[in-house]
Amino acid sequence: MLGSESIDGSATNGGGAPRARTVIVAGQSSQRTREVLQALRGFTHVIWPTSLEATLEQTGSADVACLVIADDLHEEPLDEFLQVARELRRNLPIFVITDPDDVAEAVSAMRHGATAVIEIPPSYAALRDEVARAMQ
């Protein structure tokens, strides 16, 4: 079992059959990462692996609904990490949280495999919507 922090919310979606759909959060230990974890708490099973290796290992799991890159990844450039994750799972929704107005970073993330880039602030509503869509 990989070392990971797990926030176990409801594993059901709507009124349908129970599903174990996991959202992986990647990012250094920071205020923003904590906010992302908090924003996703309660309506899905969220894991925050303790290393990038563990993150990628989990990303390969069929149970994963999406990957959320919440903040800087320490030693790993975002674009390279995105490429590796994308090669692992071609169709996996990958959402990147970024500072407002950093259009160049957003474009670069999209070119390297992000499904969408969400600017924070103003709010986490857009992230929750994207994650909910990814789990449908």
Binding site for another protein (CB under 8 A): 90-91, 98, 100-104, 106-107, 110-111, 115-119
Q: Is the Cβ of residue 47 or residue 68 nearer to another protein in the bound state?
A: 68
Going by the DSSP 8-state scheme, the letter that residue 104 receives in this structure is H
Q: Is the Cβ of residue 12 or residue 32 nearer to another protein in the bound state?
A: 32
Residue 111 CB, shortest distance to another protein, in Å, is 7
Residue 17 CB, shortest distance to another protein, in Å, is 25
Cβ pair 116, 67 in contact under 8 A: no
Residue 134 CB, shortest distance to another protein, in Å, is 14
The SS3 of residue 112 is coil
Token pair belonging to 122: 């103003």
Residue 42 CB, shortest distance to another protein, in Å, is 26
State the amino acid at position 114 in one-letter form.
Answer: A
Cβ pair 56, 86 in contact under 8 A: no
Q: Is the Cβ of residue 47 or residue 82 nearer to another protein in the bound state?
A: 82
**What's the CA gap between 64 and 28, in Å, rounded?**
20
